[in-house]
Each structure stands twice: as C-alpha cells, then as structure tokens.
Structure 1
C-alpha cells in the first residue's frame, strides 16, 4: 500500500473498540469512527481517529468501512436502513461486517450493495475480548478472493489468524459453528465441574487433570480456568444474552441445512434459563450457577 486508505469503523463496543484501536494504531489509513456511546469515541479520538456524527458521515468519508455490531437487526439497519451505508455509499466502497450475524442477512446485504457497485465481506471474529485488545483474534472471512486480499492487511492489525472461508456468508457459517461448539462445551464442562466436586474431587485438581488428557480444550483452559474456577463472570464480556443470540443463529443455520441439533437446542435452553434467572448481561459461563442449583 503506497497510499493510506480512508477507513471507517461503526460499532465500538466490547470487541469493536479494541479492534478499531489496533487498526488505528497500525497507521494503515485515516480512521473515522461512529458509535452511539460517547466514551469509546473520546478514547479513540485520543488514539488519532476522527469522530463522525452519523453513519452517513462515515459512508461519505471512507473507502473501507468495518462494522462491529450487536447482531443481525443492527447490521441490516446500518447497511440497508434509512440514512445507512447503502443509501450513502458509492461504487467500489467495501463494507466489512465483523459482527456475528445470520448468514441470510449477510447475503441479503451483499446482494443489495452489489446492485450499487459496492462490495461486501463478512469477517466475524473469534476468541476473547483480551484477544481483541492484544490483536490476536481469529477472523473468518466470506468474500471473493480479490476483496479478501484487499482487506487482509487491515484485518491483520487485529488478528493472528485470518481464514478465507469462501464466498459471502461462509465466514458467518464458520463463526456460528465455532460459537455453537464453544457454548456446548461450556455447558458440558460446567456439568463435569459440578459432578466432580460433589463426588469428592477438588475442582482445581479436576480441571488440571482434565487439561492433561483428551478432555483438554480452549473452553477448559479459558472459560473454566479464568471464569468458572474463580467465579468471575463480569458484565461487558460475552454475556449470556449475546451467547443466546449466537446459538439461535446457529440453530437457524442448522434448520436451513435440514439438520437437527439436539445438543445445540439443549445448550440454548440452558442459556435461556440462565438469562431468566437474571444473568443475561454476565459472562455466559455464569450458567455454572444454574447447574449448581443457585439460579
């Protein structure tokens, strides 16, 4: 890249703010940012970004626009809604959605943008908020090859693993399956932790021993060791209601593919029960409390 690109970022929440900060600090282009909350805008201005007053202002200033939004309705509204990116965008502009979103919405947005000569890529992220801060995310991209090569240097500021999964929508397919498997694993680990302790095994010894065998997993090393063991379930991490949304999207995908997912349905029911008990905003491994009978 001989010239710096005009970049935009919309959605500066739990993951969006650190992702945007890493892209801004990488000095790959001038960054214009927008969010409904003032705090992240002020912090990113201090990092060198420019504050926009609206989605339309970002659309008119940037060549590549990144989105990190709560879910499908927000993505659809920002791209296709009144005063959105489609309405204010221009030919050749690239929209990169880093949210977790239904596959159907990703492909609907791509088709609408394509009619105006605009380009869409889905690029949802995996791993934790700390990974977003550290720039060590895994990003799964659905796009054509040329678009993937264009956006990869910018994604590299936020991730150590960037995978081109195929055409539009395939990044979301892989991300939804990733989250479905993760949530199912956390439910199973919460059950194992509770059963083992009540059967007389020290929970820390149980976890350390499981991590040395075939039960080892990312979920055990992170969600169990860093959340369940210390009983640390903060608000502002990947909350129960967000996890419920993601597994619901995964089950929609399964239904569209003609596949039933009993394990996915059970995990979704556990998350819904956890939310109903008042833990909707807390880090989703809090479902341990329901399995222990505290909910």
Structure 2
C-alpha cells in the first residue's frame, strides 16, 4: 500500500521545479501566501535568485529536493520533460510518501502511467495543470484543474489557493489533464475561427476593429475574442515569451492523442494543428500562437 503523509499543507516542506513564465509567479505566490519552507530548482539561475529574495531556498538538484520535501510541484514545458524528471530524478531519489503535483500540461495516458510508477515506490501524483494568462499567474488568479484522490487534493488545495481563484477537482489522476487539454483545444479552435473571420471581413471591406467590437456585442463574444483577438490579432503583435506556437502545437497534439485514446475524431483540432504547423513553418514557432492569422489560406 502507498504510504500516506499526515503532514498538513501548513506544516509541509515544499519544493518547486520549473520556474518559467508560469512556474516562477506560481511558486512566488505559494511561497509568500503559505509561509511554508520552499525549496526551488531550475536550470536557469535567475528565477532561483529572485525567489530566494522572497524566502525560498535554492536546492542543489531536483533529485536532492525530491529526497527531502513532502510536496514537490513541477511546472515544465510538457510531457516529455515531466517524464524525464520523474523517471530519472524523482523515482530513484524521492522519499516514501512524497506527493508530486504536476502543474504542467501532459498527456493523459502519461500522467496515469507515471502515477502508477510513483505508487510502486511509495509516492503519489496529482495532476494540476493551469489555465488563464501569464498576468493571471502573476496576480494569483489562475484556474487550476486537478486530478487525484480526495485525500491528496484536500492536502494541496490550500496551497493552490494562493495561486488560483478557481480550483476544480475533476476526478482521479489524469482528469485534470483531460479538462485542461480540452480547454486549450476549444481555445485553439476559437482562435482559428477568429483568424478566418478577421481575414474574410478585411477582404470584404469591413474595418478590423469594428468587426471584432461588434462580434463582442453578440453571440460570438468570447474570452478568446477579447484577449487573443483584440489584444494580439488587431494590433498584429505576437511577442515571444507569451504562449508560443510551438507550445500550442504540442497541446493540440495532446488533444488529438486524447481523441485517439477515446476512439473519436476531432476534426476541429486537426484543423488547428494544420494551421499551427503552417505558422511554425513560416518562422512563427516562438511567436504568440494567434500569429496563425498571418498564414490564412487563399482559394
């Protein structure tokens, strides 16, 4: 049977690996809000140094951290990195009872496979991918979708509450990833639809800003329209350091993997994948993914 920790969130020692665009502010908010002892690790020294200024402690390595802390958060680029870290660093070194909280977006099947591998070593996994923007991460207003046991989710809930205003327990391990992947799939498909509307309206002589403003007053209104459309597509500004095309392409592939796993076809996701691949091939892999509007097909 998997050992269970009785340590409360307030008394737990914490670790956080992956201090990128989302990971650093999430870690900072948890560190500040919880007052818990927080160890941090990243391949880049700059975010580690910044978090040390907020009371965190720099870990010598991820493996060393896994051997010491009670709860270890991961915020990594994707499933490949999560699998490497868990199999090469955490499984050999993690202490019995360790609770791993994967805040990355990872394939559903992989999350469940890694959960089983951790259980065999007396550790547990909760998947807790995040949604909303980098600004929401800074402000602590993320939405977090969680997959795991009732007991494990109850332990981490007060910690996640320092980083999020919405925390949804979606079911057992893997279900957080299911909901996050589908959230992103719907977003990507909506951005594709917005790119088509903008291009068609422009070609037909309608002012870009007038079009999107009017759509926002009707049933076509959406978060994607008001944020990705109005703030990126209209000014034609797609900075690097936001949610890049390469990352979006990875996530839409996860959606297609889920479709294959469940026996369905996801034609909208296939279209989004094709458009993102075209944007990547046009040199927009590092650009904010609504840049796919620049590669609209002509008849």
TM-score (norm 1): 0.96
- Residue from 147, 156, 165 that aligns with 1:160: 165
Distance change in 2, residues 1:2/1:284 (3 Å): closer
1:18 aligned onto 2:25:
yes
Cα displacement string for residues 188-231 of structure 1 (whole angstroms, at most 9, x for unaligned residues):
10110111122111111111110111100110011011111122
Which one is further off, 197-206 or 184-193?
Answer: 197-206
TM-score (norm 2): 0.95
Shift of 1:20: 0.6
1:228 aligned onto 2:222:
no
Shift of 1:24: 1.0
Shift of 1:261: 1.1
Shift of 1:28: 3.5
Distance change in 2, residues 1:211/1:89 (3 Å): same
- Residue from 181, 185, 190 that aligns with 2:190: 185
Q: Unaligned regions of 5+ residues in structure 2, if any? A: 1-7
Match in the other structure for 1:250: 255
Cα displacement string for residues 37-61 of structure 1 (whole angstroms, at most 9, x for unaligned residues):
1111111111111111211121122
Please list every run of at least 4 consecutive aligned residues from structure 1 whose deviation after the TM superposition is greater than 6 angstroms.
none
Match in the other structure for 1:43: 50
Match in the other structure for 1:133: 138
SS of alignment partner, residue 138 of structure 1: strand
Q: Unaligned regions of 5+ residues in structure 1, if any? A: none
Match in the other structure for 1:78: 85
- The 5-angstrom pairing of residues 1-295 of structure 1 reads 3-81=10-88, 84-291=89-296
Distance in 1 between residues matched to 2:19 and 2:82, nearest whole Å: 14
SS of alignment partner, residue 155 of structure 2: helix
CA RMSD of aligned residues (A): 1.3
Shift of 1:119: 1.3
Shift of 1:116: 1.8
Shift of 1:3: 4.8
Shift of 1:122: 0.3
SS of alignment partner, residue 13 of structure 2: strand
